Amino acid sequence: MVPHRLVVVRERGFDVRSFGTGTHVKLPGPAPDKPNIYDFKTTYEQMYNDLVRKDKELYTQNGILHMLDRNKRIKTRPERFQSCKEQFDLVITCEERVYDQVLEDLNSREQESLQPVHVINVDIQDNHEEATLGAFLICELCQCIQHTDDMENEMDELLQEFEEKSQRPFLHTVCFY
Amino acid sequence: MASGVGEQAHGSVASQFYSNEEETAFDMTTSEKVVELLNQAALISTEEKLIVLKQVQELIINKDPSLLDNFLDEIIAFQTDKSIEVRKFVIGFIEEACKRDNELLLRLIANLNMLMRDESVNVVKKAILTLTQLYKVALQVSLSVSDMQEACWDMMTQIKEDVLALLDSDNDGVRTHAIKFTESLIITLSPRTPDSDTPKKQEGDISLDKIPKDHTYIRYDTLCEEGKSALEQLLKFMVHPAISSINLTTALGSLATLARQRPMFMSEVVQAYETLHANLPPTLAKSQVSSVRKNLKLHLVSVLKHPSSVDFQGQISTLLLDLGMSQSEITRCTPATVQPRKRLHHDNALFVLADAPLAEDDEDKEEPAPVVTPKPSSSVGTQSAIDLTAEFLLPLLTPDNVANLVLISMVYLPEVMPASFQATYTPVESAGTDAQIKHLARLMATQMTGAGLGPGLELCKARDEEVKEEDGGAGESSSKDPLIIRKLSAVSLGQAISVVGAPAAYKTPITEEAPQIKKLPEPILPTSQPKAPGASGRKKVFKLADVVQPFSEAQIEKLSNMAIKRILLSEKVIAQSGMSHVRVKLLARLVTQFEGGKKNDLLQFILEDMRGRSELAFSLLYHEYNEYLSQQPSGSLDSYEHCLYTLLSGLQEKPEQRDGLFTKLVLEAPVITDSALEVIQRYCEDESRVYLGMSTLKELILKRPSRQYQYLNVLLNLSSHEKEKVRSTALSFIKRMYEKEHLKDCIEKFALTYMQFLVHPNPPSLLFGAGEDTEVASPWTEETVRQCLYLYLSLLPLNHRLVHELAAVYTEAIADIKRSVLRVIEQPIRGMGMSSPDLLLLVENCPKGAETLVTRCLHILTDKVPPSPELVERVRDLYHKRVPDVRFLIPVINGLEKNEVIQALPKLIKLNPIVVKEVFNRLLGTQHSEGSSSMSPLTPGELLIALHNIDSSKCDMKSIIKATNLCFGEKNVYTSEVLAVVMQQLMEQTPLPILLMRTVIQSLTMYPRLAGFVMNILARLILKQVWKYPKVWEGFVKCCQRTKPQSYNVLLQLPPPQLPNILS
């Protein structure tokens, strides 16, 4: 669901990329213990076709097909954060587990440019309502960050403000490329 | 091709550039392409500029690095761009360029230094990032020796200090970057060891172990010490109570990197982690504490995975357990080690937890420490301090004491539980057990050592001293401390210089070094020995005064000269930016405030292109004058004068200009000083510029009334200049100015003063120029006389009254002067004309002694024009009433009455033959071809008759004969007809004129065909009894003799008595 939230951000004018961090792409299946698993080489198109073939009604109902349809218009296939060698200024994760993975990955890379990258985690429950709220929260956070003159200097304060407002803990750290 | 362009036109600007590039790639060299892109970049918006600049970077760094050098300056010029992004690009470019060609750093370091002081933190941060990379490059470059590189290295060292100082910056991000810089610095400035965990890409990087120990200015020991000092700074930074969570996170990461890449620092790192864990900053919010703890865990794990962590596995495990990691996870991360036990011994006091392998260490306690192999000496102190204090505390932690401590501490507890405490607190499970007490002791010891307390710390200090004393003598490792201290001071000295980029002779310390190490290691110690670890307090406050020394006068002079020169030379660049007025003002102000050389440099510079730099010239001049005004009343004009003088004379030396710059400069200068006036005078004396000079002078006279007489005087002096052109120009200017009423007097006075010189026996020295001011005994010459009169004579036609002054001077002057005067007055007198009342008055009054002058005037006036009645009247009066000199009459003779002329004739013909000739010329009209003869009161015939009738008592016969001869000489006038009439009339007179027959004979000789007529005369004379006039008779006889045989007929008519007279 992570890409879903970040798409919102893109439409509001940020230069945003979405990534997965796991070893595979998992999509909800017919039961919680039976997810659909794809590797990162699979295109959204292929996933879409696969799910249509498996159970079109189910996946239309739970919105997965809709999501895949939208995603494939943005890019051909999901990307894995660990495989991306581009440098970012800010990484936002929506789950502490993902945050840890990102940190682990970034820290395991060989430092080179020492360009800092801020990593922020906002815990968002994986359900529809939370996702929508979380999407707006992240979007607002990004806007605020974009409006700062000096992101690094004001980030701390900003996050504390958001924390208070949203009543959610934010994890925040900085890593270096 | 065309359609391709059309399609592209709709695309983004960026794509256009790319397409342009592709299109032109065929016929353009890379160099041309770069030029074109750079030209574009100057004109377009920031976003596009960045795209273009990046293209340029690609071209000259990767595609064709040979161009790098050519276009370096152009790219670097963007460092002053308004856009932050562009400035950041420049920094990135510098980095890439220096990495491509390390030597470029020598040229670019100063720019980097500048950019590091940029007002935008984002630029500063980028600069720090780049410096992190380039510090290594600088070190690499510096390993090959040269002066230039030493300066570069000095500057880099200075910059390094500056970045370290930024650990105290107000900006969080800047601090973050500074931490990363410090990390990289420490790695570079420490040796890589076999157990170092080096990233692949950094394998080629330089580090301390690659520094030769015999380098001229890069000192191994200094660098080593700098590295350690940086580490200490970092550690101090970390324990700052108000550190931000991001900084803390960054520092934690840096420490982990250090521990892995430089295991020699493992103990410090673990120590720092421990301290931090026990003392999380109270300022952190709850979520920040979680973030930090998460990081701490992450980094601890990464350190633990490093093989060299074996000695610290116990401590790390304890921490990780506290951070919520399970034992199994910890074990999974612990590297398999060969002999973990033995290594653990050293830190025996640490392991308080009930960890199975560690619990046994009591029994090994006695084992000697030396088993431990690569223990970095510096860590011993700190670690032992905590150990010792913990040991000291352990027996004291009785239940009573602990209870008391708790009670006392209650007072200091904060109202709200700090987030850090809340996060780290775990209920004490095994309270009261030995292990727990040891753990507590250690925790307290850590705190105490951190606060600089405890017996362990003191012991350590004492021991350190001992160690150092021992080391002073010998051993490789021992040399570091004392030497480093010396070097530090040397470096700080070098830094002071590097700021201004003048690599001066600061190499001396090197030569003194060796002996000093042995002699005096210790006294220097206290001054810069880094504080004992754990001692609280921050890095020594940076004081500029400590590291810089005042420049010598000469240096200041040199540097300021160079600075001004740079401003001077930037003329074109600034002009293009449209800010030249600022430059002009700046230069003028700067230069005005300095003495000497700069001023001359600037003036020289202006004179190189006076036309183009006139604005600068004026600005400078005004500033100088302003300076003078501001120092009133004691101010001196010298400086201003020098400036004006140099400019004016500089102009004079240049080939002639027609742009009036000289005039403009003179007229717009606030004050014309004496020396400036001299230059103007020189201009006037220069034949090629005389007109320019004088018209400028004229403007000055007319427009600067306050000193107009001074200026006028210059012009007046020039009126007697020896050069004709100068003189005549001056005179014509003066004449024009003479029309001004207020100047008239002055000019007149001057003219008259000069004329008055003529009464002196010798010409005054003034006439020979300023150089010869002694009285000169030379006689008057034509030339000197003229000099005195030029001005006067040119004024005379304008003011006729002046003529009387001339007469007064004339009467007193010596004969030579008189002659000269008579020669020179012709033009002006003619100019005055005979109708001039003053001239008439002069004639009328004719002062005594001025007769020749008046005569000369009359001659001049009547030379070509017949005299006017007024003039004739005056002359007649003069002649009759005062000076009866007949010579006066000559000029006006044609204006006289007939009888007057006849009366004067006897006197006239007695004059000098030349004068007589002139008189006759006038009377006969033979002087000039013009019709003045018609004005003659006498016809030629009448004249001749008058001559015959002159009374011989008034005039001797000889003069009369001569006069008649003059008449006969004029054959054109005295034709046979005229002569016939004359003879006829004379013959009819009674008595007969004495010269009658002479004239007859003369006429006959001239005109033989008159013979018939003469016969007739002769016959008539017989009737008049010619024999009664002896002289005439004599002539009669002669005539008859000459004319025989015709005369026979006449002879026959003679009465008989007279006939024999003839025949005999």
Q: Is A60 on the interface with B (CB under 8 A)?
A: no
Residues A140-176 have pLDDT tens digits of: 888 888 887 788 888 888 888 888 888 888 889 988 8
A111 vs B contacts (CB less than 8 Å)? 199, 257
DSSP character at residue A80:
B
Query: How many contacts (CB atoms, under 8 Å) link A and B?
Result: 85
- Identity of residue B164: L
| Distance in angstroms (rounded) separating the CA atoms of residues A68 and A73 | 9
pLDDT at B513 over 50: no
Q: Is A169 on the interface with B (CB under 8 A)?
A: yes
> In Å, how far is A91's CA from the nearest CA of chain B?
15
Residues B572-587 have pLDDT tens digits of: 778 777 777 888 888 8
Q: Is B302 on the interface with A (CB under 8 A)?
A: yes
Please name which of A46, A6, A28, A21 lies closest in space to residue A101, comparing C-alpha atoms.
Answer: A21
pLDDT at B305 over 80: yes
The whole model's pTM is what? 0.47
Give pLDDT, residue A160: 87
pLDDT at B352 over 70: no
Q: Are A107 and B129 a contacting pair at CB < 8 A?
A: no
| Distance in angstroms (rounded) separating the CA atoms of residues B996 and B1007 | 16
Contact B323, B301 (CB under 8 A): no
Residues B520-569 have pLDDT tens digits of: 222 222 233 344 444 444 445 666 777 777 888 888 888 888 888 888 88
DSSP character at residue A171:
E
Q: Is A15 on the interface with B (CB under 8 A)?
A: no
Residues A123-149 have pLDDT tens digits of: 888 777 887 888 888 888 888 888 877
Average pLDDT value for chain A:
83
Task: Locate B498 and state its tokens.
Answer: 């590097």
**DSSP code per residue over A152-164:** HHHHHHHHHHHHH
Query: Looking at residues B1016-1040, what average pLDDT do you find?
Result: 82
Mutation test of the interface with chain A: which of B136, B288, B325, choosing the one with the most A Cβ atoms within 10 A? Answer: B288
Give pLDDT, residue B1: 39
Q: Which residue has the higher pLDDT, B343 or B309?
A: B309
Please name which of B837, B825, B772, B770 lies closest in space to residue B800, comparing C-alpha atoms.
Answer: B837
Give pLDDT, residue B1033: 83
Give pLDDT, residue B136: 86
Burial of B578 (0-12, 13-18, 19+ CB in 10 A): exposed
- Edge-to-edge strands, sheet with A90-93: A90-93, A116-122, A170-176
Q: Angle at Cα B11 formed by Cα B10 and Cα B15, nearest 5°? A: 145
In a 3-state reduction of DSSP, which class is residue B435? helix
Mutation test of the interface with chain B: which of A98, A106, A159, A176, choosing the one with the most B Cβ atoms within 10 A? Answer: A176
Give pLDDT, residue A52: 92
> In Å, how far is A149's CA from the nearest CA of chain B?
9
pLDDT at A60 over 80: yes
Residues B122-145 have pLDDT tens digits of: 889 889 989 888 888 888 888 775
Q: Which of B71-75, B171-175, B424-428 has the lowest mean pLDDT?
A: B424-428
Q: Are B257 and A111 a contacting pair at CB < 8 A?
A: yes
Burial of B871 (0-12, 13-18, 19+ CB in 10 A): buried
Please name which of A155, A78, A166 lies closest in space to residue A124, comparing C-alpha atoms.
Answer: A166
- The upper half-sphere exposure of residue B274, i.e. CA atoms within 13 Å in the direction of its Cβ, equals 28
Range ranked top by mean pLDDT from A69-78, B360-369, B481-490: A69-78
Query: Looking at residues B753-782, what average pLDDT do you find?
Result: 68
| Distance in angstroms (rounded) separating the CA atoms of residues A125 and B363 | 53
Q: Which of B274-283, B371-380, B384-393, B708-717 has the lowest mean pLDDT?
A: B371-380
Query: Looking at residues B742-764, what average pLDDT do you find?
Result: 80
Contact B485, B525 (CB under 8 A): yes
Query: Looking at residues B242-265, what average pLDDT do you find?
Result: 89
| Distance in angstroms (rounded) separating the CA atoms of residues B545 and B35 | 46
pLDDT at B1039 over 50: yes
Residues B423-474 have pLDDT tens digits of: 667 666 667 777 778 778 878 887 787 777 777 777 777 766 665 555 444 4
Give pLDDT, residue B181: 92
Give pLDDT, residue A13: 54
Residue B943 makes CB contacts below 8 A (sequence gap 6+) with B920, B923, B924, B967
pLDDT at B696 over 60: yes
Give pLDDT, residue B179: 92
Range ranked top by mean pLDDT from B23-27, B59-63, B495-499: B59-63
Give the largest Cα separation in chain B, rounded: 207
Contact B784, B820 (CB under 8 A): no
Q: Are A172 and B288 a contacting pair at CB < 8 A?
A: yes
Residues B835-844 have pLDDT tens digits of: 788 888 888 7
B91 vs A contacts (CB less than 8 Å)? none
Q: Is A177 on the interface with B (CB under 8 A)?
A: no
Burial of B103 (0-12, 13-18, 19+ CB in 10 A): middle
> In Å, how far is B175's CA from the nearest CA of chain A?
10
Q: Is A116 on the interface with B (CB under 8 A)?
A: yes
Nearest neighbour of A114 by CB, restricted to B129, B249, B256:
B129
pLDDT at B984 over 80: yes
Q: Are B291 and A171 a contacting pair at CB < 8 A?
A: yes
pLDDT at B353 over 50: no
* Residue B646 CB neighbours (<10 A): 20
> In Å, how far is A172's CA from the nearest CA of chain B?
6
pLDDT at B63 over 80: yes
In a 3-state reduction of DSSP, which class is residue B699? helix
Q: Which residue has the higher pLDDT, B707 or B13?
A: B707
Mutation test of the interface with chain A: which of B246, B284, B302, B303, choosing the one with the most A Cβ atoms within 10 A? Answer: B246
Give pLDDT, residue B35: 85
Q: Are A171 and B287 a contacting pair at CB < 8 A?
A: yes
B246 vs A contacts (CB less than 8 Å)? 118, 152, 155-156, 172-174
Within 130-159 of B, beta carbons closer than 8 Å to A belong to 132-133
pLDDT at B621 over 80: yes
Percent of chain B predicted with pLDDT > 90: 2
* Centroid of chain to Cα B106: 30
Task: Locate B52 and state its tokens.
Answer: 């273009």
Residues B884-931 have pLDDT tens digits of: 777 777 777 777 887 888 888 888 887 888 888 877 777 777 655 454
Nearest neighbour of A107 by CB, restricted to B121, B288, B302:
B302
Give pLDDT, residue B751: 83
Q: H/E element holding A90? A: strand A90-93
| Distance in angstroms (rounded) separating the CA atoms of residues B1022 and B1054 | 6
| CA closest to A109 among chain B residues | B199
| CA closest to B292 among chain A residues | A173
| CA closest to A161 among chain B residues | B285
Contact B763, B784 (CB under 8 A): yes
pLDDT at B100 over 60: yes
Q: Are B287 and A112 a contacting pair at CB < 8 A?
A: no
Q: Is B121 on the interface with A (CB under 8 A)?
A: yes
Q: How far is CA B594 from CA B556, B558, B597, B631, B736, in A?
A: 12, 12, 8, 15, 45
Query: Looking at residues B36-44, what average pLDDT do you find?
Result: 83
